[in-house]
Amino acid sequence: MTHKMTLTTKILIGMGLGLIVGSLINQFALHIPFIQNYFVGGVFHVIGAAFINALKMLVVPLVTFSLICGVCGIGDIGALGRIGFKSFALYLLTTALAITLALVIAIVIAPGEGFKRGQSASTFVAKDSPPITDVFINIVPGNPVEAFAQGNMLQIIFFVIIFAIAMLMAGEAGKQIADLAEKLNEVMMKVVTIVMDVAPVGVFCLMAKTFSEQGLALILPMIGYFSVVVLCLFLHAFGTYSLLLSTFAKLSPLTFIKKMRPAHVFAFSTASSNATIPVTLQVLEKRIGVNNSTAAFTVPFGATINMDGTAIMQGVATVFIANVYQIDLGLTQYLTIIGMSVLASIGTAGVPGVGLIMLAMVFNQVGLPVEGIGLILGVDRLLDMLRTMVNITGDATVTCIVARGENTLDDAIFNDPQAGVIEDINLPHHKQAS
Ligand code: ASP
């Protein structure tokens, strides 16, 4: 064990151990108060939640500085508009493809037929979702300080872009701020390194807590629904994205998937595209070779408006619940579901569990019983972790395609297996590690 392990390997080990420990607790120690109080609700909960906070702590400053650098790096408002337009269109397109794929496969396999409603009894109360018009109005922040304080990603992106454009217009004064932002960005990247250093323990605790609460036995009665969602996620991640990557970005999908691994681990263990932004950004820039000028915009944008995995869950859930309640859906309703899911993914941020709120919006629209969502609640956490991986893979795929079009993708970095291995902390007076 004295071999030097990369941080990614340590994080993977933390994840695997957490999964095993959590599942063992769920099987054998569910009713032992000591374990529940001191480990599941104690150490695992505290360290896991603090670790998520540490990741979230990085998001706003990192996105701000790196987006300022990105816009100044592009330096041309036309190119900025092009990147914005292309990524928006591609995000909509991939989500539409995802939900269509999910609907087609779910209709063919028809999960939920013959399902007895008593099998799963959680109740679901839908939270209010904002009307879609508000979503567009609220892209413009009434108070930028509030936007930053609340971490409202679309508002932050909007304000920072306007500010950075103004910096470009301001000449010398703007240039000085750009230099400062460049330095702040560099320092923020080091803050990411510090947080990454505790990631093996953080990820272990998150996994141990989730799996001690979510026994795999929960899946059994829902195996039909669960496996159709997983199948669609798999097909979309390995089929649709691979096709898009090799056709439009001219990249090897296999290398891409390998390079994405650290981001996947974080997405899976946090179930939040937003909290994963720092890792996705780093992976895209340092490992895949996308220039900051593209990734700084497309990654936070995608984490907010692009949720292909979530759309897939919605497609399958809609067909499943319709089957359970024996409600026939017609073509118009299916088209409405596609439109609604795409719109809903724009309006909601990438945080855990938000997919269910979006699903409630879709159900209201097509007249399915919202309380039906209670049926799938039990398995949602695990699916949330899986679909978040797909969500960020979608963001990364679109980023690569846009970067290829803009000539901001460095193939030498992409093809170098050693590029951007997550670095260990290297303190200035740190003694040389033996
Ligand atoms: N957790 C997902 C994400 O952050 C959203 C969801 O499907 O609930 O991307």
> What is the position in ligand 1's atom list of the atom closest to the CA of 355?
8
Give the model's pLDDT for residue 254.
96
Cβ–ligand 1 distance for 10 under 6 Å, the answer: no
CATH number of the domain within which 180 lies: 1.10.3860.10
Cα 311 to ligand 1 centre (Å): 10
In a domain? residue 425: no
Substitution site in 279, 382, 384 for ligand 1 pocket (most atoms within 8 Å of beta carbon): 384
Cβ–ligand 1 distance for 302 under 6 Å, the answer: no
Where in the sequence is the domain holding 220, given as residue range(s)? 7-415
Helix 77-109 and helix 292-305, axial crossing angle in degrees, nearest 10:
40
Residue ranges, the chain, pLDDT below 50:
1-2, 433-434
Q: For 171-218, what is each residue's pLDDT tens digit?
A: 899 999 999 999 999 999 899 989 999 999 999 999 999 888 887 777
Cα 223 to ligand 1 centre (Å): 21
> What is the position in ligand 1's atom list of the atom closest to the CA of 309?
7
Cα 387 to ligand 1 centre (Å): 7
Cβ–ligand 1 distance for 378 under 6 Å, the answer: no
In a domain? residue 1: no
Q: For 246-301, what is each residue's pLDDT tens digit?
A: 999 999 999 999 999 999 999 999 999 999 999 999 999 999 999 999 999 999 99
Cα 273 to ligand 1 centre (Å): 6
In a domain? residue 21: yes
Cα 75 to ligand 1 centre (Å): 33
Substitution site in 272, 359, 385, 392 for ligand 1 pocket (most atoms within 8 Å of beta carbon): 272
Report the number of distinct structural domains present in the chain.
1
Cβ–ligand 1 distance for 380 under 6 Å, the answer: no
Cα 271 to ligand 1 centre (Å): 6
Tokens of 226: 């669960």
Q: For 343-356, what is each residue's pLDDT tens digit?
A: 888 777 778 888 88
Cβ–ligand 1 distance for 16 under 6 Å, the answer: no
In a domain? residue 285: yes
In a domain? residue 429: no
In a domain? residue 317: yes
Give the model's pLDDT for residue 153.
87
Mean pLDDT score of the chain, rounded to an integer?
A: 89
In a domain? residue 137: yes
In a domain? residue 189: yes
Substitution site in 59, 354, 356 for ligand 1 pocket (most atoms within 8 Å of beta carbon): 354
Give the model's pLDDT for residue 245.
97
Backbone dihedral angles phi then psi of residue 409, each to the nearest 5 degrees: -115, 125
Substitution site in 362, 391, 392, 393 for ligand 1 pocket (most atoms within 8 Å of beta carbon): 391
Specify the amino acid at residue 29.
A
Specify the amino acid at residue 331.
L
